Amino acid sequence: MILSLNKKIFDFTLNTTDKIVQPILRDKTYLRMNSFQMNTLLAVQKLVEVHTSKILKGMNIPTEKALKGLYQTIYEIEFQNAALIKKVNDLERKLIELDIKLTKEFPLTPKKRAGVIKKPSIKSQSATN
């Protein structure tokens, strides 16, 4: 009984808290204040980065901007590479298709297809000797 009463008080407290907090989380003033705080934080971060970059440049250490530039190059190269691989695969596929077409239009004998070079017969060999 004590336990269930405790549970009821606990649930009531949490439900009441939810009822109070939820409208605050949707409140326009709260959201405006929140956005202002976030934008200020971002601005401060930017300012710190500018000053840090100056110090790093002076010490000949790559700055965050320089690193981002490198990452961008890696990102672009990766996509170029993927596009090239795709093109090579397409060309390979086309080559195979062409080969199939060719063999259909100009059917070769099994020996020719296997690339077997015809040996001169014993008769012709003895004639030349």
Partner 1 sequence: MDSLYSVGKSILSRTRENLSRYPRGMKNLFSMVTNEVNDYASTPRQLVGKSGRASLYRYVPEVEATHETVLIIPSLINRYYILDLYPGCSLIESLVENGHEVYLLEWLDPRPQDIFATLEDHILEWMNWAVDKTLEDAHTSNIHLFGQCMGGTFSAIYTALFQHKVKSLVTLTAPVDFRDDGLLSTWARESQVNMDMMQQQWGMIHHEFLQQSFKILKPTGVIRKWETLFSNSWRDEFVQKFTYMEKWINDNVSFPGKTYSKYISDLYRDNMLASGTFTLSGKQVDLSNITCPVLCFTANGDDIVPPPSAEMLVELVKSKNVKHVKLGGGHIGCVVSGKHQKILWSEFDEWLLDNHKGVVNDFVTQ
Which chain residues interact with partner 1 by CB under 8 A?
1, 3, 7, 10, 14, 17-18, 21-22, 25-26, 28, 31-32, 34-36, 38-39, 42-43, 45-46, 49, 67-68, 71-72, 74-75, 78-79, 82
What the block records as the tokens of 97 is 């298709």
Least Å distance, CB 14 to partner 1, is: 5
Which residue's CB is nearer to partner 1, number 71 or number 103?
A: 71
Can you say whether the dihedral through the CA atoms of 109, 114, 120, 122 is positive or negative? negative
Q: Three-class SS of residue 1? A: coil
State the Cα–Cα distance between residues 125 and 129, nearest whole angstrom: 6
- One-letter identity of residue 71: Y
The radius of gyration of the chain from alpha carbons, rounded to an integer in Å, stands at 39
Least Å distance, CB 95 to partner 1, is: 18
Least Å distance, CB 23 to partner 1, is: 11
CA atoms within 13 A on the CB side of 2: 0
Least Å distance, CB 67 to partner 1, is: 8
Which residue's CB is nearer to partner 1, number 29 or number 109?
A: 29
